[in-house]
Chain A
């Protein structure tokens, strides 16, 4: 069974750093496109960024509000995805979800977020 478990959330002061982890099981992380999505309290979903599979170049993309502050990486040996968050702001307070992105053999290149973790909560406050 494909499963994602996030960890690493917590309370951090503005300007601080935090590293989130997402442990994958039931599949090989290197072969997957992975995204981080966040949800501020009482708000909607916001895409944070993505890392493509190794075969697709392993490149990363980020949303404008986090570009230059957040970094997505993979630990191949542990099948774990990371989100390094630096220079945190109060507006980064949210539940952070990792998700797999996949397409379908019948509709290739039409990517969607298939498997989601339960999320980890990040609170940025002084």
Chain B
């Protein structure tokens, strides 16, 4: 199974900050990497797919980069509605696996 390691596990940031979350995989997955946002009590929502493609309707302050084993989700200017937990997920091989999540909290 492909192991996913996200860092940090949590972070505190202020509105307007630039936030970066990283995801490292235990083996190369090309660009088969997706990012999801989950707010408390809600279902997850896809933000980025194929490592860097922005899902329709997602604000352009979200961006993804990376390939191989190292990936990054960046929020260029954190907004109040972005406080949530973020997960990476690989679709390279079964079983599909998720990172453990990064909780973004208000500073």
Contacts and interface: CB of A to CB of B under 8 A. Distances in A.
Contacts of A119: 43
A104 B32 CA distance: 12
A71 B55 CA distance: 30
A14 interface: no
A45 interface: yes
B49 A104 contact: yes
Contacts, number: 67
A83 to B, nearest CB: 16
Given A44-B101, A45-B89, A116 B50 contact: no
Interface stretch (A73-81, A86-94, A105-113): A105-113
A116 B49 CA distance: 15
Given A45-B89, A110-B91, A111-B91, A118 B101 contact: no
A114 interface: yes
Interface residues of A, number: 25
Nearest to B45: A116
Interface string A53-76: 000000001111000000000000
**Chain B residues touching A, majority SS:** loop
B87 A106 contact: no
B53 to A, nearest CB: 6
B97 A47 contact: yes
A110 B89 contact: no
Given A50-B94, A112-B34, 18 more contacts: A44-B99, A44-B100, A45-B38, A45-B98, A45-B101, A47-B89, A50-B96, A63-B95, A64-B1, A64-B95, A104-B50, A107-B50, A111-B91, A112-B46, A113-B89, A116-B44, A118-B42, A118-B43
- Give the top 5 A-B pairs by smallest Cβ distance, nearest first: A112-B49, A110-B50, A116-B43, A47-B96, A107-B50
25 contacts: A44-B98, A44-B99, A44-B100, A45-B38, A47-B95, A47-B98, A63-B95, A97-B44, A101-B91, A107-B49, A107-B50, A107-B53, A110-B49, A110-B50, A112-B34, A112-B46, A112-B49, A112-B50, A112-B89, A113-B46, A114-B46, A114-B55, A116-B44, A117-B43, A118-B43
